[in-house]
Amino acid sequence: MKKNIIENVKTILYALIIALIIRSFLFQPFYIPSSSMEPNLLIGDRLFVTKYSYGYSRHSLPFSPKIFKGRIFNKNPKNGDVIVFKTPSDNRTDYIKRLIGMPGDTIQFLNGDIFLNGKIVEKKELNLTLDIQCGSQTFKANFYEETLPNGNKYVTAYRKEGTMLNSDLYTVPKKHFFFLGDNRDCSKDSRFLGSVGYVSYQNLVGKAQLIFFSNDKKKGSLFQFWKLKNILRFERFFKKIIW
């Protein structure tokens, strides 16, 4: 009996160690709790982030232990990547946004357009009629396909009324990045220097790659199995994230 208990404990410990290694160095699941990345990521999406995409920092590990500084096996991200990072304000909270500015870049909104290093980011209006969420509110939006200078394309949403037209000129410091939410008028991102601001290279957690599960909480609980056909967003299962 005692031997069986010891073997079971060993099995559990081995499983925990393997899970910790996978979570820290390979893949980590994340849940989307807000609408800041609509229409590309929805509340209720669950996705996999690859931890090895940009190398490893202390934030790659659970609870971000201060065991080393900087990054090892570092790789540079690309503009347009969708990235999970720890917010600079507390080095603890996970945010997911789109990378728009690299170290040394300048970013500014002028008359509703984004200027990256003094050049307008190309955008093409799309014929979409989706409503966009912002907390408990819903608003009408214009949708655009934006194209960054490196060719990466993605869809963004701007309020039809009350969108932010102009901003300060942001200059990204060395070893930092500038992030924006795709839901441009409902995203706390690098435009808010007091709470998010410029994100250090060390704070990058990983690159968002794949939505593996999605459910619409507004339509019911997963325990209401008789409603699952409406609750589950089957069309989003195993959907590759656009960058």
Active site members: 36, 97
Q: Provide the CA 88 distance to its chain's centre, in angstroms.
A: 15
CB 125 within 8 A of CB 98: no
The long-range contacts involving 217-222, CB below 8 angstroms and separated by at least 24 positions, are 217/43, 217/44
Say which amino acid occupies 71.
R
Do residues 28 and 21 make contact, with C-beta atoms less than 8 angstroms apart? Answer: no
Query: What is the C-alpha to C-alpha distance for residues 201 and 109, in angstroms, rounded to an integer?
Result: 24
CA distance 172 to 169: 10
What is the DSSP-derived secondary structure letter of residue 209?
A: E
d(CA 47, CA 29): 6
User: Using CA atoms, how far apart are residues 53 and 170, in angstroms rounded to an integer?
Assistant: 26
Which neighbouring-strand residues pair with 53? 55
